[in-house]
């Protein structure tokens, strides 16, 4: 493996070539970089990753330069960027040479799209048998939809997510972020680490087949099992929970709060803090299954009981009585929340020109081998000369091991 970085993060010494753009592949590459891998992002010389232009907003450098869209910076921290036109003979050859020095490739081209450049797994593994090759597509390498392009919005619709999101009887809704892409990126990192472990033991790499469709279907969790057990497809329920009640958004005098009662003891404490003796004693509300069966009447009674409460008083009372509840923060309020501040979720990373690039740390804390945040997202082609000079040095030393 490649030379380790300083501070010995978990994946120090792992070298990754990222032939990916937009979100799922770059998200995987960013987390691998956070974990200490040397991630080299290959971008087309004319514009690079599409998300560099997906704004506004755009990040402005210390010298007033446009440093690409905020979207791009959300998924490319910690990498080195080089520009290569892999459609050219020289560009494809250089990419193959780089991959010969690497442990991992991440790509999100259409199925078979890299074969004509000699950058598919079958073409590359002869020169690098231990290579872990992670291909991320919309629908995977097999099946009738394999040739189709994958778009998060369409995947959320096709894989069931939108059918259970939104208010009953209203237009189906997607999630507010590209969860199919992001979860596929996360699952890809898990798969890559497992494949690296296999390669360490056997000396043999493998091709990882990741599909947004598979991921989106898989993360429906309990809703999948609700269907498989009952035979009834779950439907839109707004903010209500199919299996638990009361577990939803409720109005108060000055806004809304979430009440998330998960067991019978919490429900009794909730009734007590509301002063709702009759509701606590109602036989229809004694157990969770009975509350779910009578959820509409339960909601009506709770709404009436909570109508004169303020958000602050309700949340304080719930906390004092060990009833799970919470505010509905905007993203701005989330970053200002004392918990987010205490956990250091926001980071500002300075580039070589002194520009501060805002970022959000990975939600992983490893005290013995901390994650690695040594650089912000790279400018287009920022490291081309550096990486190609390294490549010449590595080629002179012989085959990658």
| Residue 155 CA neighbour count, 13 Å, CB half | 30
Of all residues in the chain, the percent with pLDDT exceeding 70 is 98
pLDDT of residue 8: 87
Residues constituting the chain: 401
Neighbours of 333 (CB within 10 A): 11
Give me the residues paired with residue 128 across strands. none
Ordered DSSP codes for 50-95? GGGGS-SSEEE-TTS-EEEEHHHHTS-TT-EEEE--TTSHHHHHHH
Q: What is the pLDDT of residues 149-204, one digit of tens each?
A: 999 999 999 999 999 999 999 999 999 999 999 999 999 999 999 999 999 999 99
**Dist CA 75 CA 384 (whole Å):** 20
Check whether 365 has a pLDDT greater than 80: yes
The one catalytic residue among 181, 209, 214, 351 = 181
Q: Is the distance from CB of 5 to CB of 79 less than 8 angstroms?
A: no
Q: In degrees rounded to 5, what are phi and psi of residue 196? A: -65, -40
Any idea what DSSP says for residue 4? P
Mean pLDDT of 362-370: 96
Check whether 72 has a pLDDT greater than 80: yes
**Dist CA 119 CA 113 (whole Å):** 9
**Dist CA 185 CA 157 (whole Å):** 19
pLDDT of residue 2: 40
Q: Is 152 a catalytic residue?
A: no
pLDDT of residue 107: 98
Q: What is the pLDDT of residues 264-280, one digit of tens each?
A: 999 999 999 999 999 99
């Amino acid at each position: 493996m490649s030379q380790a970085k300083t501070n010995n993060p978990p994946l120090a010494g792992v070298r990754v070539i990222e032939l990916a753009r937009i979100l799922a592949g770059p998200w995987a590459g960013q987390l691998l970089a956070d974990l200490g891998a040397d991630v080299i992002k290959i971008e087309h010389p004319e514009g690079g990753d599409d998300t560099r232009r997906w704004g506004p907003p755009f990040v402005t450098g210390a010298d007033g330069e446009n440093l690409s869209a905020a979207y791009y910076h959300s998924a490319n921290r910690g990498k080195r960027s080089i520009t290569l036109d892999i459609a050219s003979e020289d560009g494809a050859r250089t990419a193959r040479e780089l991959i010969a020095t690497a442990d991992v490739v991440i790509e999100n081209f259409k199925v078979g799209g890299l074969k004509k450049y000699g950058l598919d797994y079958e073409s590359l593994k002869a020169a690098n048998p231990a290579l872990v090759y992670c291909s991320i597509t919309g629908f995977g390498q097999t099946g009738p939809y394999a040739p189709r392009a994958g778009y998060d919005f369409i995947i959320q619709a096709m894989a069931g997510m939108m059918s259970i999101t939104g208010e009953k009887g209203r237009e189906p809704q997607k999630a507010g972020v590209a969860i199919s892409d992001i979860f596929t990126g996360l699952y890809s990192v898990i798969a890559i680490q497992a494949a690296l472990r296999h390669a360490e033991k056997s000396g043999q790499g493998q091709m990882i087949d990741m599909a947004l469709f598979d991921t989106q279907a898989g993360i429906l969790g309990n809703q999948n099992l609700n269907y498989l057990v009952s035979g009834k497809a779950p439907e839109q329920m707004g903010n209500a929970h199919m299996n638990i009640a009361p577990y939803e958004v409720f109005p108060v005098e000055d806004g809304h709060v979430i009440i998330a009662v998960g067991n019978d003891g919490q429900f009794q404490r909730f009734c007590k803090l509301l002063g709702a003796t009759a509701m606590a004693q109602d036989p229809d509300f004694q157990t969770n299954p009975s509350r779910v069966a009578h959820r509409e009447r339960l909601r009506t009674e709770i709404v009436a009981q909570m109508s004169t409460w303020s958000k602050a008083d309700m949340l304080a009372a719930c906390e004092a009585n060990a009833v799970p509840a919470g505010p509905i923060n905007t993203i701005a309020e989330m970053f200002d929340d004392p918990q987010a501040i205490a956990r250091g979720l926001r980071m500002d990373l300075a580039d070589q020109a002194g520009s501060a690039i805002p970022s959000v740390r990975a939600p992983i804390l490893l005290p013995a081998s901390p994650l690695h945040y040594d650089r912000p997202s790279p400018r287009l082609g920022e490291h081309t000369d550096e990486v190609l000079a390294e490549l010449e040095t590595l080629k002179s030393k012989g085959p990658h091991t």
